[in-house]
Structure formats: structure tokens, C-alpha cells
């Protein structure tokens, strides 16, 4: 939709910089269900700021904490893609889906150069906590709904490779194999 594996206890000044490392497929942190965020504090605010900066630097519209190696139920998103950024923060989100499955081509910052058609429900309602500690609810039936679903998948350890059609899997087989080989050889990419 790219901090060491599940190292959530870092000091704020360790994570509050413009570009965090985005972990790439098949890093194990991307394949596991994230744990709930337990508190909203200065450390979390610094992490969110760094995530937003990283998302924009990577030309993304969303970024989940597992993508930067932090296995927590948190993502940031700005699906509007306008000159006036309006990032949103979703802490411990829950999502309700409805409507017909609609195909749409998706990419992922953790799987660069791979774009696949993913079928998702057309309407998403998300309930989450913001940085102010208040719960909020949003509903969308357009691009934002797709971004929320994609980022929510990251919190459950689901990637677009898990949602690929057999045709897309065949088309991207070589790229994914090369990414696995690079990961196993220690070339994690950034």
C-alpha cells in the first residue's frame, strides 16, 4: 500500500526520524498477527510521525506497523493523494466489510514491483482509536475502503501474495522467488 523485528521498546528519538526501514517480503514479521497497542504516549506519537514521513517518502498511501518491523495493531493512511496531506492514524482498528467483491490492482511497499488484482468488498467501515485516545468510525465505498482493507490485512499477517489469483502468482513467481532468495542470503533490501 517499508526498525528491528518487534522492537517496540525503542526510545522516541530512536524512531523519530524521516525514514524507517520498510521490511520486505518474506520477512517473518509480515506473516504474523500483530499485538494490540497498549498505550498512547510520546513514544507512540514519535513512531506515528516517523511512519507518516516514511509512507510519504516511499510514495505510499498507507503503512502498517508490521511493515517497519513493529508487530502492533497500528497503521497510517492518506488515500486522498492530494497536495494537502491529511494522514489518518488507526490504532487497534476493527473492520466490517460488505458489498460485492470488486477487483482492483494493488501494490505494496513491502513487495515492490509487484502489482496484482485483488478482489475486496466494496464497502468498509472501520472503527479505531486516534492519537487523541478517542474511538472513531469511518465508512467508505471507494479507494479509502481498499486502502484500509489492505493495511488491516497487514495487521493480521496477510499480504497481497496471499490474495493473488493463480494467474498473478504465475506471473510474479520469479520476482517472489528472487525476493525469498535475497532475504535468505541476508540482503533484506530497504
DSSP 133: S
Question: In angstroms, rounded to a whole number, what is the distance separating the alpha carbons of residues 187 and 25?
Answer: 11
Catalytic residue chosen out of the listed positions 43, 53, 106, 151: 151
- Cα 89 to Cα 5, 10, 19, 67, 160, distances in angstroms: 21, 20, 17, 15, 22
**Cis amide prior to 102 (ω within 30 degrees):** no
CB of 3 closer than 8 Å to CB of 20: yes
Q: Is 151 a catalytic residue?
A: yes
Q: Report yes or no: 165 and 101 within 8 Å, Cβ to Cβ.
A: no
Other CB atoms within 10 A of residue 23 CB: 25
32 touches 153 (CB < 8 A): no
In the DSSP assignment, the letter for residue 91 is E
Which residues are catalytically annotated?
151
Amino acid at each position: 500500500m517499508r526498525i528491528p523485528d518487534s522492537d517496540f521498546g525503542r526510545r522516541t528519538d530512536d524512531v523519530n526520524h524521516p525514514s524507517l526501514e520498510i521490511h520486505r517480503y518474506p520477512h517473518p514479521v509480515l506473516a504474523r498477527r500483530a499485538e494490540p497497542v497498549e498505550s498512547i504516549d510520546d513514544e507512540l506519537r514519535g513512531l506515528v510521525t516517523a511512519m507518516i514521513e516514511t509512507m510519504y517518502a516511499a510514495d505510499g498511501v498507507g503503512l502498517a506497523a508490521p511493515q517497519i518491523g513493529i508487530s502492533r495493531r497500528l497503521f497510517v493512511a492518506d488515500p486522498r493523494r492530494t497536495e494537502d496531506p491529511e494522514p489518518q492514524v488507526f490504532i487497534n482498528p476493527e473492520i466490517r466489510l460488505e458489498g460485492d467483491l470488486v477487483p482492483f490492482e494493488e501494490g505494496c511497499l513491502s513487495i515492490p514491483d509487484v502489482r496484482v488484482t485483488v478482489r475486496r468488498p466494496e464497502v468498509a467501515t472501520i472503527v479505531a482509536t486516534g492519537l487523541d485516545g478517542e474511538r472513531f468510525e469511518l465508512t467508505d465505498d471507494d479507494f479509502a475502503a481498499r486502502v484500509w482493507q489492505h493495511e488491516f490485512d497487514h495487521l493480521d499477517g496477510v499480504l497481497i501474495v496471499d490474495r493473488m489469483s493463480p494467474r498473478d502468482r504465475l506471473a510474479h513467481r520469479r520476482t517472489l522467488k528472487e525476493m525469498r532468495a535475497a532475504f535468505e542470503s541476508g540482503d533484506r533490501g530497504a
